[in-house]
Amino acid sequence: MRKVAPAGSRFVLEARLANMNKFKQDWAANSDSKLFEAIAIEKSNLSRQFLFRNNDIGKFKSQIAAKVIKQMKPKINIQYMNEKVGDDNIDFTNKMLDNDKLTGVFNALDNIEARRFMDNQCFNFNKPLFESGTLGSKANSQTIIPYLTESYSSSVPNDDKTIPLCTI
């Protein structure tokens, strides 16, 4: 289990603050956003994901999400790709994370394995991660800053046996 860097030395505190300040400055200055999702919208998505409507069923989630976000915030520069991030597409995932212009990652993944994978990759590439999702009837939202906060993998039990509610 990965832990937060130990506190106590001035160097560690300064490194943590520098990491947080860089993130805040980069986030404010960088308006580029990218969405990745290789799954089409299903009817079951409509009850829990506010970006999608009946006429979106069958279309790629990333495409519709980018379109709706652009309508909400017209000045945002947002691109979508119908690509999956994960172990089975590691080259693509690493290419996206190994980018100095990328200042943070927003997760909305539908399974723990994928969430843990992205948590680990964001830690490895020193990228802040904003995790959100559901697990059974529980909701989760977490801000993860490498070496500053607890990681997602450290905070979720390994023995989860809940059934995703969207499958019921």
Q: How far apart are CA 107 and CA 118, in angstroms?
A: 8
Per annotation, catalytic residue among 71, 132, 166, 168: 166
Backbone angles phi and psi of 68, in degrees to 5 = -70, -40
- Examine the residue annotation and report whether 166 is marked as an active-site residue of this protein: yes
Q: How far apart are CA 35 and CA 33, in angstroms?
A: 7
Cβ partners under 8 Å of residue 23, min gap 6? 103, 104, 128, 145
Q: Could you list the active site residues?
A: 166
